[in-house]
Amino acid sequence: MLSRGAAGWRALRWAGRRPRARGLRASPRAWSAMPSWVIDRYGSNEVLRFTRDMVFPIIHFPNEVIIRVHAASLNPIDLSMRSGYGATALNMKRDPLKLKTEETEFPLTLGRDVSGVVMECGLSVSYFKPGDEVWAAIPPWKQGTLSEFVVASGNEVSFKPKCLSHIEAAALPYVGLTAWSALNQVGGLNKSNCSGKRVLILGASGGVGTFAVQLVKAWGAHVTAVCSHDASTLVKKLGADDVIDYKSGNLEEQLKTLPLFDFILDNVGGSTEKWALDLLKKWSGATYVTLVTPFLINMDKLGVADGMLQTGVTVGSKTLKHLLKGVHYRWAFFMPSGPSLDEIAELVDSGKGIVASDGLMDESCFCRRKAKGQVESPIMKLTDHSL
């Protein structure tokens, strides 16, 4: 089963009772503005502002669709972006040729995950039609999903899993695609080659970690998960074969007592990188993939050119250093992908390795779990505002 288990992050529903679909109105303003949560500058939670006058999204390219948001969710990336993380690189992506007259990204709508209904399609979109229930993860350089409507490219969108409600579905796309990118697109794991491999997941109780545990387990791997004792029961139920409590002693020494691994996914970073690669099988194609990279930080601190140069030198030197030791070292990032979401949706609807949880779903579906003792973020208070 695939689940999002990040403590403190859960799907947000914009309205307890959904209003009827927007119909024709006499006032032109009804089609030019919409409710949205935006920021006008970077900072802490006080920069968030609710408005009913956000510019209504329009289709600029023939492969785009407009989605009416039924549910959205928050991820750590949203809090980081609120504080200005990655602004240099994201602004370059938004306007690479500096063609815009106004050099500002504000007002900026946060939120990456969306589950909703297609309202309008571009001329070249043939895979979707108005009324289709879809889900997606919107790239961070685009306007986000904490609004009534959002625009997405057709290749970023997928049909929502049939067994999930909109609220449940909105909890999965961003973390699911991040894990899929690290494991499949960068790490090369899939259902055909994963059986019997020993996989270590560092930071296994977060959103990406819990998804990764279930994914590689569904592909037949032997999974060793590292998390706190409080999350060990959850991670075990998600399919982990061995669960290591990083607080119970020296983590490096605990892991050295186990057989070597074929693959390591690092959601923690920091000092773990200094010793984690020693746990891989040498000269056997074993791979270490980390999701904690300095790419955006380098560009924020050094600018685009120097930041990219520093990043290239860092990843290149580390890759060569570890390749000479017989292991592969790689960085991974979130990658928006409708086709990957298609595969995730198929796994969700297939019901493999099912454990129902918290009454959210029956046993015909993968489940979304909420860790006990979960602490709610202050930003969750935004759900009190109904659109």
**Residue 377 DSSP label:** P
CA triple 206-208-212, angle to 5 deg:
110
List the structure tokens of 288.
Answer: 């270490």
Q: How far apart are CA 308 and CA 49, in angstroms?
A: 33
pLDDT tens, per residue, the chain with 387 residues? 454 444 334 344 443 444 444 443 434 445 689 999 999 999 999 999 999 999 999 999 999 999 999 999 999 999 999 999 999 999 999 988 877 766 689 999 999 999 999 999 999 999 999 999 999 999 999 999 999 999 999 999 999 999 999 999 999 999 999 999 999 999 999 999 999 999 999 999 999 999 999 999 999 999 999 999 999 999 999 999 999 999 999 999 999 999 999 999 999 999 999 999 999 999 999 999 999 999 999 999 999 999 999 999 999 999 999 999 999 999 999 999 999 999 999 999 997 642 323 323 332 333 333 333 333 332 233 332 323
Would you kindly state where each structural domain of the chain is located, as residue ranges? 33-173+362-366, 187-331
SS (H, E, C) 152-205: EEHHHEEECCCCCCHHHHCCCHHHHHHHHHHHHHHCCCCCCCCCCCEEEEECCC
Based on its alpha-carbon atoms, the radius of gyration of the chain, rounded to whole angstroms, reads: 21
List the structure tokens of 354.
Answer: 């099912």
Tell me the CATH number of domain 187-331, given options 2.60.120.260, 3.40.50.300, 1.10.3720.10, 3.40.50.720: 3.40.50.720
Q: How far apart are CA 83 and CA 38, in angstroms?
A: 13
The alpha carbon dihedral of 180, 182, 185, 187 has a sign of negative
* 8 A C-beta contact, residue 365 and residue 161: yes
For residue 66, give the amino acid letter: I
For residue 224, give the amino acid letter: T
CATH code of the region 33-173+362-366: 3.90.180.10
Give the pTM: 0.85
Which residue matches tokens 């930041």? 307
Which residue matches tokens 């750590």? 76
